[in-house]
Amino acid sequence: MEVDREFKIVTLGEGRVGKTSLAMRYVRGQFNEKEQSTTNANFLEKNIRINETSIKLNIWDTAGQERFRALAPNYYREAKGALLVYDITDKESFWKVVSWVEELKMQADKDISFVIAGNKCDLELDRQIPKEQAIAYAKQIGAAHYSTSAKSGMGVNECFEEIAKLILDKESRSGSPIRSSKARSRVIVKNQEEVVKKKKSGGCC
């Protein structure tokens, strides 16, 4: 299969919130109740199709422990999207998401797209983070929020695909080249004048 675009995505969040489980559920469609703890980072890939653009997602699934934060820049550098995961039954894990957002805004690619996933929604009874609060926060930072459950599969495909869509949207708005015909036509319609001007001056690389 020919791939039009390749996006690097990183999963970040407190330990044991389900970063690996979400990634595994998405890529392999499997859920392992007894997922192993991650040291440093794992790598997964998946090919998807959005609006006739075939996309390869390179997913870096990182370790949650605070000390590994020092290595995280290796993985979020040049990443176009970040999936920030918290556990709805664990208050602390939500604050970790907030701190990751702060760090990424300072250090990561300035066009990086965020999606926040409130994982373990199958444990609704033990919820500690009110959904409204999480959604409000996501809105505030311009991110999408998804309620997910790696166990049941709820919201998993949606949250990863949302990242891909956000990245595509951002790219088409900023006018960087996209091979898909549909996406390209949309760019030209929106910014026709700009594109023409740029072509004339010949300054675009």
Partner 1 sequence: MEAASTIELTRVGLLPNVQYFLPPDPISEETNPLLLPLHCPQCSCNRKAKNLLKRTYTSLFPRKEISDSCVRAQKWCQTAGVSENSEALYIEILSNSIESEYSEQIERDIDRSFPDLYYFTLGEGKIALKRVLSSFSRFLPNIGYVQGMNYLVGTLLWHASEADTFWLLVNLMQNYKLYENYIENFPGLEKHCHIIDFLISNYQPKLYQHFLQYGLITQMYATDWCFTIFTCLLPINYSYFVLGKFFKSGWIYFYKLVLEILDRLEEQILGCDNIAKILASLKPYTTGKKHSKKFVKNLAKGGERLNWKKLAKQAQLREIDENVISCLDRNAENLHTAGL
- Residue closest to 93 by CA, chosen among 200, 159, 27, 16: 16
Q: Which is nearer to partner 1, 64 or 155 (CB)?
A: 64
Alpha helices in 62-155 (DSSP H): 72-76, 91-107, 131-140
Count the neighbouring beta carbons within 10 Å of the beta carbon of residue 145. Answer: 21
* Cα 62 to Cα 182, 197, 200, distances in angstroms: 34, 43, 44
Residues touching partner 1, count (CB under 8 A): 26
Phi first, then psi, for residue 7 (nearest 5°) are: -120, 140
Q: Which stretch binds partner 1 (CB under 8 A): 38-46, 149-157, 177-185, 193-201?
A: 38-46
Smallest separation (angstroms) from partner 1 to the CB of 28:
9
Single out the segment in contact with partner 1 by CB under 8 A; choices: 29-37, 127-135, 138-146, 157-165. 29-37
Piece in contact with partner 1 (CB under 8 A), picked from 55-63, 140-148, 158-166, 173-181: 55-63
45 binds partner 1 (CB under 8 A): yes
Going by DSSP bridges, is the β-strand pair 81-87/53-62 parallel, antiparallel, or unpaired? unpaired
Stretch touching partner 1 by CB under 8 A, among 30-38, 149-157, 165-173, 189-197: 30-38
Identified binder of partner 1 from the candidate list 15, 99, 122, 131, rule CB under 8 A: 15
Q: Does 54 bind partner 1 (CB under 8 A)?
A: no
Please give the residues from 154 up to 183 whose contact with partner 1 meets the rule CB under 8 A.
Answer: none
The DSSP element (H or E) to which 11 belongs, if any, is: strand 5-12
- Kindly tell me which residue out of 1, 2, 67, 193 binds partner 1, with binding defined by CB under 8 A: 67
SS3 content of the chain, % helix, strand, coil (to 5): 45, 20, 30
| Listed ranges 58-66, 94-102, 164-172, 188-196: which one lies at the site for partner 1 (CB under 8 A) | 58-66
**Alpha carbon of residue 38 to chain centroid:** 19
**Minimum CB separation from partner 1 for residue 202, in Å?**
30
Non-local CB neighbours of 97 within 8 Å, separated by 6+ positions: 12, 13, 84, 85, 86, 116
For partner 1, the binding residue among 10, 12, 50, 70 (CB under 8 A) is 70
Residues in contact with partner 1 by the rule CB under 8 A = 15-16, 32, 34-45, 56, 58, 63-68, 70-71, 74
